[in-house]
A and B are shown apart, each in its own frame.
Chain A
Amino acid sequence: MLATRIIPCLDVDNGRVVKGIKFKELKDAGDPVELGALYNQQGADELTFLDIGASYKSREIMIDVVERVSREVFIPFTVGGGIREVSDMRAILKAGADKVAVCSAAIKNPSLITEGAKIFGSQCIVLSIDAKQYEDTWHAYLNGGRIDPGIDALEWAKKGEELGAGEILLNSMDKDGTREGYDLKLNKTVSEMVNIPVIASGGAGTMEQMFEAIKIGKADAVLLASLLHYGELTIKEIKEYLNNKGVCAR
């Protein structure tokens, strides 16, 4: 049976993991390769690295990080953040990433998804959507959630699939950082609307909420950050819990 994926997400700035990582097992909590290898050992199904550094220099350093991760960690990983053109995708994939995530650039230039899918295959292209509730629907935001271009997130998800995205990374801006649980309504609506996998992101506080995201929100995978980084939960604990609840986890 296909397992529901648990995916740690690491924010990287200038080649260092940022946003407080607290692990006793690590010599250096800021090294993305070391942390990626640790999560692999703990049973992570995939890894996601988000380059949050805006500078050109940060991008170059990210390429080196990707190269090093791919030599040490033998599970799939996605890289996102600041991917604007096909040439950015090529550089990241060539360095050893399995997938690239696009967000703002795809809203501004939707053909980026189609071009990327045509050259590298749909399985390489993850459409990341920063969604925030607007009246009875959600809007897809730009620039790390700072700009609302007035685009309906549900229509954008459907369009993204048609354009050739192989997966949707669905971030709830309303839930992000709250630990109140994932946005189940948003997840369920998008997951039932598209025929590609949907990764739920934003709001995780407990294992029960992850179970709800999978059962009620119909998520194919869940993304986790601070809960894991602070060592409050381990991937092993989460998987045991999910297996006991009848969810297939590796």
Chain B
Amino acid sequence: MIAIIDYGAGNLKSVKKAFDHLKVNSKVISSAREWSGFDKLVLPGVGAFGAAAQRLNKAGFIELTKEWLIADKPFLGICLGLQLLFESSTESTDIDGLGFFKGKCVRFQQGKVPQIGWNQIQLKKDSKLLDGITENSFFYFLHGYYIQPENEDIITANTEYGITYPSIVSKGNVYAVQFHPEKSGDVGLQLLKNWVEKC
């Protein structure tokens, strides 16, 4: 069973719909009381870093998610769910992220912000998450901030938008992507399938 964390921000149901389409069991959890009976965890997200971190905290998810990550249990962060794994963001300087990865999120200085649309990934290392997915595949991106990890070893793929920035990171069983696989057509569904079956 996959649990998708719902902390009251945006359209999180599309991740559930993608799993339904793949005929994989998943459930949306919106409070710490529902934290049981699953073996894989998804942290999706749209919106602002600070508001999301606050809502996660209010719903009692911060400590539980940190413990999950430290125990190296299967995890997938999507978009803001990737950014929240880092220590902080210049978007909301008064609030901390989960701090699982060292580094911060900063705003794009070039081009139109937010970046909206399909962009490519350049692979930095092999990953089970990307089985059957080729170099330069397009995924759907929607974000104004990008991550700056301190440890470059966690970078699985990069993307270019005026600058080169990490679009997939991973460590052990923890994976996170900056784009929206649930909105990236067939290639996105393939990535989700890989995560469910292989990661």
Q: Do residues B116 and A96 form an inter-chain contact, with CB atoms below 8 A?
A: no
A74-B183, A96-B17 are known contacts. Are A3 and B118 too (CB-CB below 8 A)? yes
Residue total for A at the interface (Cβ-Cβ under 8 A): 31
Q: Do residues B185 and A75 form an inter-chain contact, with CB atoms below 8 A?
A: yes
- Bound Cα distance A70, B114 (Å): 23
Main secondary structure on B side of the interface with A: mixed
Q: Do residues B138 and A197 form an inter-chain contact, with CB atoms below 8 A?
A: no
**Residue from A93, A166, A221 within 8 A of B117 (CB atoms):** A221
**Residue from B114, B161, B183 within 8 A of A75 (CB atoms):** B183
Smallest CB gap from A43: residue in B: B185
- Tell me which of A13-21, A119-127, A149-157 binds B: A119-127
Residues in A with CB closer than 8 Å to B184 are 74-75
Q: Do residues B118 and A70 form an inter-chain contact, with CB atoms below 8 A?
A: no
A76-B140, A123-B142 are known contacts. Are A220 and B116 too (CB-CB below 8 A)? yes
Extra contacts besides A2-B119, A121-B46, A124-B10 (12): CB < 8 Å: A3-B138, A4-B117, A45-B117, A70-B14, A70-B17, A75-B140, A75-B185, A98-B183, A121-B10, A124-B11, A195-B112, A197-B116
For this complex, 20 residue pairs linking A to B, each with C-beta atoms less than 8 Å apart, are: A2-B115, A2-B161, A5-B118, A40-B185, A45-B118, A71-B17, A71-B20, A75-B184, A76-B140, A94-B13, A96-B14, A98-B183, A121-B46, A122-B114, A195-B113, A196-B114, A197-B116, A220-B112, A250-B118, A250-B138
Chain B interfacial positions (CB closer than 8 Å to A): 9-11, 13-14, 17-18, 20-21, 46-48, 111-120, 138, 140-142, 160-161, 180, 182-186, 188-189
